[in-house]
Chains A and B, each alone.
Chain A
């Protein structure tokens, strides 16, 4: 865990630490303000003298949010979409990353370039053809219409990231496994998979966020059946540009941010070491 040891003089280090803490406060301030505003009673948010504290925290905004039709259901829908995308795309990306790093075959480099190019595709522009595709497959107004495109869009980046992790597993291990009589499937799932797992976690953060965040697809593909809607849609119910219900927006935002925060804190250490490993090789 040691950072590179540099001879940093004491006053400089203290100055650096002070600015690090100050920057942390600035960076965290929007989140603090979000949670604070969610707990402020109605009169205090819409006051011209905003105070960075509240003496009378209230749950009114949360009540309003959960009182809105089926907010809990939207929450579950979002969770189902995000988790399905994370698991399915992680498995598919693991197999693909193994193929492009542990085997040499024709078109390997071409494929890698294709995966890179695929990341460039502006997802929003594909809403039009995807809409027709989902309509033809009868997926409109179902969660499938949200899950399927997100699996596809998170795959190229996941494969590109996972390459480094798969590469880092020593070749000798594979040879030893085969000499000991392990089948290829056994090596893949019982040896390689656990070793690459930290990398899978790091990459899954990205697919989780993209699926959890999405409101364009939800808006475009879930047209008539609101029971299949997701959280961003519910949030925007409170956000009317002319007269936003700030309390409601902030309470819904808080509810929407918490699962991602939990996810991040859980994978934090793996994320930091994982990203370093992924881009190094």
Chain B
């Protein structure tokens, strides 16, 4: 098993491999290996991003798509329209708060269960692991419909168990967001749990035993021993959760039927899609896309600085 091999290997053994200059280093081979990836990414990611930026500066509606009218340069017109729109700021705030709530809940649940996994014997561990893998494997579309059925006011078991009658979860703004949050946490905590668990397992047992012998409490062990050792892993799962939860689309789209009553449950991604494909305002949708891109870029820069501060080498 990799985990076991991982901690019997002297620490830092892998770092040397990248710092030592390679005798065969000065060739074109790396670029040869990179060529397919760069071609695919250039054509299907970089170029569309460039196009996205371009479209956001033009007037681009159904008429231009069908070729009926020429495209006209708008400058920052689309952005001015967007920033002048009160709904945009509302959606932006909702997106940030919703993503933050999802990330915090996912990390809390995932880490707690990872610690729990280390405290139990093989059978309960396997059962919980399989259940989590099941949640993880469930496609977003099916997960969304299943949770809707569970919380359905007429036929769902949850309202029966809680004795809520025909209370509708998707009617109120906050309860609808809460329902989506539950589904998002359900399908994304397994990644955190499995990754953190694998990380804890790679921590040498002697370290933990020494801490326990010195009289450290469970909480103290987690805070002062495990958390610092797991920091690289925690950084990775945090940033991945931020990326995924900020971009939530399917769950909101399916569970609140495209953004909720009067758009009360819109998040940026769904908002951009609605503007572009439902209202045919392709340039406005692109402008929202650009805003999202810049926000996530800012998050990436913070992440990179964190990695650098930890002395991590890329």
Contacts and interface: CB of A to CB of B under 8 A. Distances in A.
B146 A253 contact: yes
Given A4-B205, A152-B40, A280 B232 contact: yes
A213 B2 CA distance: 30
A68 interface: no
A50 B204 CA distance: 49
Nearest to A44: B155
A49 B204 CA distance: 52
Nearest to B272: A125
Interface in A226-272: 232, 235-236, 239, 241, 244, 246, 249-250, 252-253, 256-257, 260-261, 263-265, 268, 271-272
Number of chain B interface residues as a range: 35 or more
B203 interface: yes
Contacts of A220: 277
Interface in B170-219: 186, 191, 194-195, 197-205, 208-209, 212
Nearest to B187: A30
A245 B159 CA distance: 20
A125 B40 contact: no
Contact of B186 (A5, A13, A30, A129): A30
Interface in B249-286: 249-250, 254, 257, 268-269, 272-273, 276-277, 282, 285-286
A246 B156 CA distance: 11
Chain A interface, >50% SS class: helix
Interface of B: 1-4, 6, 14, 16-18, 20-22, 24-25, 27, 29-31, 33-34, 36-37, 40-41, 43-45, 47-49, 51-52, 55, 113, 116-121, 124-125, 127-143, 145-150, 152, 154-157, 160, 186, 191, 194-195, 197-205, 208-209, 212, 232-233, 236-237, 243, 246-247, 249-250, 254, 257, 268-269, 272-273, 276-277, 282, 285-286, 288-290, 292-293, 296-297, 299-300, 303-304, 314
Interface of A: 1-8, 12-13, 16-17, 19-21, 23-25, 27-31, 33-34, 37, 45-50, 52, 91-93, 95-96, 98-105, 108-109, 111-113, 116-130, 132-133, 148-149, 151-153, 155-156, 159, 167-168, 170-171, 178, 184, 198, 209, 212-213, 215-216, 220, 232, 235-236, 239, 241, 244, 246, 249-250, 252-253, 256-257, 260-261, 263-265, 268, 271-277, 279-281
